[in-house]
Homo-oligomer: A and B are copies of this chain.
Amino acid sequence: MSAVGSPALPSPHVRAKRRRRRAEILEAALRAFRDQGYHATTLDDIAARVGVRKTALYHYFPDKEAILYACHRESLLEVGRLIEEARRGYGTAAEQLAHVIREHVRLMTDTLQGSPFAFDVGALSPGHERRVIAARDAYERQLRAIIEEGVRRGEFAAVSPKVAVFAILGAINWIARWYRPEGPVGGAELGRQFAEHLVGGLTCRRAR
């Protein structure tokens, strides 16, 4: 039996190129989902936006649902990273929460370009939907933990952390309903105002 050599791993150059192409596909898909809706978008639409043939997409994703799942997955990984950054970079709950809000808003406006794909979990396969919901729940728990800590330390008023998180995520998720990248307010300015509004309402509320 002669040993068959395993195919050589792609070179770093090729891998970097593949990563860029994959990111381009996801970006094009987000824009297509935003402009046409997920259900009306075809793989041909996405390929045309990237400037490749549909068959080229199959090197990266088996089907449209896999692209939608990747969009969900990457943005949930991203918000998970925001929590870590906030914990590492800031000492107070108010600063940590402000960081997460500012950067989550920028994720909505800049990376996702106002794409309302977050409304479409129902379009995922049951297995993918379960994983997305689990990751989303984990993010909500981490946000709640920051607020609980702020309440315990007396930084925040004695709110229900659960209700406060729903108010904050509602404000942020709703961005997909009205934001247009070509509009006058940039993501950074929007993030700053949201953070001041939504953190300020916890730190400075009048005593009941």
Contact = CB atoms under 8 A, between A and B. Distances in A.
Contact of A170 (B164, B173, B199): B173
A71 to B, nearest CB: 19
Interface in A190-204: 190, 193-194, 196-204
A43 interface: no
Copies of this polypeptide in the complex: 2
B198 A200 contact: no
Given A169-B174, A174-B169, A163 B205 contact: no
Interface residues of A, number: 35
A167 B185 CA distance: 14
A167 B167 CA distance: 9
A146 to B, nearest CB: 15
Contacts of A171: 166-168, 170-171, 174
A206 to B, nearest CB: 7
A157 interface: yes
A144 to B, nearest CB: 13
A206 B199 CA distance: 10
A160 interface: yes
Contact of A200 (B168, B185, B200): B200
Interface in A169-197: 169-175, 177-178, 185, 190, 193-194, 196-197
Contacts of A196: 157, 159, 201, 205-206, 208
Contact of A193 (B163, B172, B177, B193): B163
19 contacts: A163-B185, A163-B190, A164-B197, A166-B175, A166-B178, A167-B171, A167-B174, A167-B197, A170-B170, A170-B175, A170-B177, A174-B174, A196-B208, A197-B202, A200-B202, A201-B201, A201-B204, A204-B205, A204-B206
